[in-house]
A = this chain, B = another copy of it.
Amino acid sequence: MSLRFALLAILRVGPLSGYDLQKQFHQSVGHVWHAPDSQIYPELRKMETDGLIEGEEQTRGERGTRRVYHVTDAGERAFLEWMESPLDYQRVRDPAHLRAAYLESATPAAAREFLERHIAHWESELEQFDGELTHIANLSNPMLTRRLAVTPDEDRERTIEFKRFAYEGLAERARVEIEWARRGLELLDRLY
């Protein structure tokens, strides 16, 4: 259900074609809400039938077309309402901690590999988050600058600070996962 709000968050900055949206998506909100193209295009169509966005068919070259979407008033309202509404927390479903709890059933080699992969996974996430934080600090994030361009002066600091806040939370989470898995490796050394 959050997918549409993730999409609205991007579209609210300005009209975009499905393709451009999808690209912006993967570089920005996609960090907190992944969705493949095959989910984005149909969702845009559904949002259109629900009246949250409107699409305009544009020609491109001789025969090509693309559909450029913009947020309607109803879409804007829906987004703001979502921002005011209590967030529903979905229940935990954490394969890594599930496996960690039963690591005595794995061979030491598999246990070690699991932890090393965990570290690698979160290091790569951390790299992305830190990259985003740099872009935010430099105002070199394209979505953020586009957003700031349409933001009243008194909201600019807030816009930047909340984005930084969100990514700092993600980066810290990544660091904690890495430290945890490192402790796991030490534990392995002790136990075998």
Question: Interface residues, chain A, CB within 8 Å of chain B?
Answer: 2, 5-6, 9, 29, 31-34, 79-80, 83-84, 86-107, 110, 113-114, 117-118, 121, 125, 151, 155, 157-159, 161-163, 165-170, 172-173, 176-177, 180, 183-184, 187, 191
Contact = CB atoms under 8 A, between A and B. Distances in A.
B191 A158 contact: yes
Contact of A117 (B32, B86, B162): B86
A170 B106 CA distance: 20
Contacts of A79: 105
B86 A102 contact: no
Main secondary structure of the interface of A (DSSP, over half): helix
A5 B94 CA distance: 12
Given A6-B98, A97-B32, A170-B97, A183 B159 contact: no
